[in-house]
Chain A
């Protein structure tokens, strides 16, 4: 199975900060990577697919990059609504796998 490792596991930041979360795959997955946002008690929300494509309705402050084994999710200017947990998911080959999550909270 392909293992997905996110870093950091937790992150404290302030409104207006630029934040980057990294996801590494244990083998090459081309650009078949998605990012999700999840708030407590809520269903995960798709933010980014194919590593860098923004899902419809997602604010442009979210961006994704990378290919192969290393990927990043960047939030250009944190807003209060962005404090949540973020997950990456590879869908290059099944069984599909998620990262362990990165919890982003307010400093």
Chain B
């Protein structure tokens, strides 16, 4: 039972363009959502988060949008840079400290 889904296993984007990574969830108890970035041989690094009371959160080149009615969130990276190439995980939580992760999306930014 995948409560958090990232339906695109990979995404390829040209440097300077926008990268949009999508995530869907099924559990209406989730009230806090996070994006993590992971490079090979390293642990995931926290990127940005959003509470369910908001619909947008911005941090530099990264913006996360939340559509609660659709149970959908997305991460926008503008402009995309080659160093952004990594695996991006969407995660959600609503109780305790248990994060439920999606399967991840591999982002490749071509220069």
Do A and B pair up? The answer is: no
Residues of A whose CB lies within 8 Å of any CB of B are none
Residues of B whose CB lies within 8 Å of any CB of A are none
